[in-house]
Structure 1
């Protein structure tokens, strides 16, 4: 949590109690592109419930250029941006940007599950603050450390935010599995009873990191990343290869059966000539 996110005693407070000063005025713009699928829309709504410092906006037209998102964020008085972009109604990319520092990262989303789909037992207060939990892997590699700082700046609710509740009752966890970031949301059960998952769920596969907000040069590129079109093309070729091998096996089997029938189908009444001994 940032160092300026602290409690300060305000002597001018009418009740002379400990009051919270809203110092870190971070706001996040949550926006999506046109023709986005229904699951991504519900995921955005779930995130807006848990991020009281986030603001929504109408759908964005990709033809205008991604750099215009910085102007929309400036109009909305936001410094962070979460942009969901849909391709072919199949693939969803998540852009996370810090327009103030000039940094942006692109992730491919997998296994999106909304709260309405999961129907989990966990429950937490709306607009309450969350604890952010990261695996030890995020401190071992530079690009993961960069992702960690970006997640903290976007998902951490500023202390004393007017729309946030003064409670901490859930945890955002970020863990690294198979070079992908797994996001989960858990409720902190009372009396140390453990955790209960609330939802939503998503898996973020890193693609690229730029040194500018939706612009600039690439400072990191995932060497293990393969585009969804490439994977679908490979699966199609594998299916065609299996079909071709199946046809070859069927043709070979038919050929063997014909040769066998030719050897076994002889006339029993045919005259056979035997040489004299």
Structure 2
């Protein structure tokens, strides 16, 4: 009985952290399970690898064999002791969808992921320490609508690395920015670069902020993009974890299959129009008797065969 009491008291002591005032606060135990479905391309795999490297509190798992029985991800998250799920679903080896969920009670959001660029193909000059914690920067537009506030909370708990995450380091040297524009969420990652005033050089797209360090000299803080970058389009939000009633649906979202089908129809319509024009010209020439062996040409009094008979 004494051993049981000792283990329970130890858990209570480790679950709370003392603050500067001496008060205890609960420990942030966010863990992210990140995995994909079958049929992902090489770019999708590189994106998963980049996110896993940037998020030390994430746990990468093997590919999921099914795309219909998604509620079994809740059991998988419980098995790995994760309370956040980022599931990348690939369709037709070209479309990628991101599911963010809070098991076991939800909510869940499904987003279309496009304009993907990984770290390897971007070749940015920025870099960050592996295992460091990011600063999450959200656009002010996230507070204007209810579904965006829910999405902000899901992104915060999924991409926010806890202070004492396993494998993490107590450094903050990069920023993850989430911006809302055109009904889409644009995700960018930047390195926080600190240089002395007058010595550092920044690029055209870098943000520079002068500060003063502890020694009294002025330093410049600039943001250098490191990647990856991608765009998320919210499609639907569910009340539960991979199930339950729909609490939000994007009526303006157009399925990529429908876009490709419309393009094929437009291309086929142009071909059919040219084919019909060719048939009409042939019929007109046949009626005028201009095609050899087709139709009969009427002979009038001014025809050469009548005048010079």
Class of the TM-score when normalised by the shorter of the 2 chains: 0.7 to 0.9
Alignment of 1:115-194 (within 5 A): 115-191=119-195, 192-194=220-222
- Could you tell me whether the CA contact under 8 Å between 1:22 and 1:158 is conserved in 2? no
2:208 equivalent in structure 1:
none
Q: How far 1:194 moved relative to its partner?
A: 2.0
TM-score, structure 2 length as denominator? 0.75
* Secondary structure of the corresponding residue to residue 34 of structure 1: coil
Tell whether the 8 Å contact from 2:37 to 2:67 is kept in structure 1 after alignment: no
- Distance in structure 2 (CA, Å) of the matches to 1:6 and 1:177: 39
1:223 pairs with one of 233, 251, 275? 251
Q: CA deviation at 1:9?
A: 5.1
Confirm or deny: 8 A CA contact 1:5 1:24 kept in the other structure.
no
- The within-5 A match list for 1:22-37 is 23-37=27-41
Q: Please give the residue correspondences for 1:34-49 in structure 2 after superposition, counting only pairs within 5 Å.
A: 34-49=38-53
Scaled by the length of structure 1, the TM-score of the pair is 0.84
Which structure has the larger Rg over C-alpha atoms? 2
CA-based RMSD: 2.9
CA distance in 1, matches of 2:239, 2:259: 28
**How far off its partner does 1:202 sit?**
1.0
Confirm or deny that 1:236 pairs with 2:240: no
Where do 5+ consecutive residues of structure 2 fail to align? Answer: 1-14, 196-219, 292-296
Q: Number of residues paired by the alignment?
A: 259
The verdict on how the C-alpha distance between 1:21 and 1:163 changes in structure 2, with shifts beyond 3 A counting, is farther
Match of 2:198 in 1: none
Q: Could you tell me which of 98, 104, 113 is aligned with 2:102?
A: 98
Distance 1:163 1:96 in 2: 23
Q: What residue ranges of structure 1 are gaps of 5+ in the alignment?
A: 12-19
